[in-house]
Structure 1
Amino acid sequence: MTEQERRTGRDETEEERADRMWGEILQEVRVAQMGVQILFGFLLTVVFTTKYDTLNDTDQTIYIVTVVLGACATGALIGPVSLHRLVSGRRIKPQAVTLASRLTFVGLILLLATTACSLLLILRVATHDDYVPWLVSGVVVWYIVCWFALPMWARHRHTE
């Protein structure tokens, strides 16, 4: 494949494309990092409240799972920054962009799971109603539509 065939509709080389895509990934990750770090920070404080001791075993388990998911999401969404720092100047930016993109995608899935578990725990404690799993499921479906289905639809519809 010639350099011209590898071009993406922009007049850029593979290295220029990797530079552009790296900048885009970092901007995307900044948004997701902020959300996951705030959520994770709040989650870490729950165990130190008096309310935590009154939670039943199921709710405490949901809390522990949520904290672990939040820690994993934080790691995945900060991963691209560490990756960039450790491989910078090694002339492997296209490969680093691919790895950072995968870490970001995994981070988004983990953030979705963290948010869903957080919502489940909060609504279980706040309402004790049987409709909570249905409500949480509806929110998860909404996230999936916004974060994955709509972008995949646009990708399919507007690319060759």
Structure 2
Amino acid sequence: MVDPTAAHAVLARGDKVEAFFIDPLTDMPALRTPGDSGEPLWRFYAPLSLPASGAELASVVLHHTVWVTTSDGHVHPAPCTPTEHLWWGDGWGDRPSEAATVVDTLLNDLGATVNLRGHYKAPKGLTVLFNEEHKHGAQLTRAALLHARMTPPRAR
């Protein structure tokens, strides 16, 4: 826990805040607010890149956003550009090709800075995988992601 900063104030958007934090690996501000259902709600900004620690992407977990687990045991929100967010399944207009692009980039280099301008060029197999409905909390292993990246979609 830390004292609030200007970045925390922007993140809070005037809502009641229970506690302020700084992620020790990325120095990103985070905060906890009381959620509508009584459970705490965490707010944070997604980083543009993850710490380049020599680790590799071990899996992704789909829970409200895309989370990255690394081979050295860390968990991070997947990098994303400030004007986007990552989704899977029927995102009501959101594009699973954005999540596919981020994962494709991180499979090659965990510390790479993501660029979503060319998301429509994401590997089709990864896009198909992220277009599927997955339960919140579903974990997709590195092997499953690599397999999807190399597998062309089936013809309909």
TM-score range, shorter chain: under 0.3
With the length of structure 1 as denominator, give the TM-score of the two structures: 0.23
Higher helix share: 1
With the length of structure 2 as denominator, give the TM-score of the two structures: 0.24
Greater relative CO (CA pairs within 8 A, separation 6+): 1
Higher strand share: 2
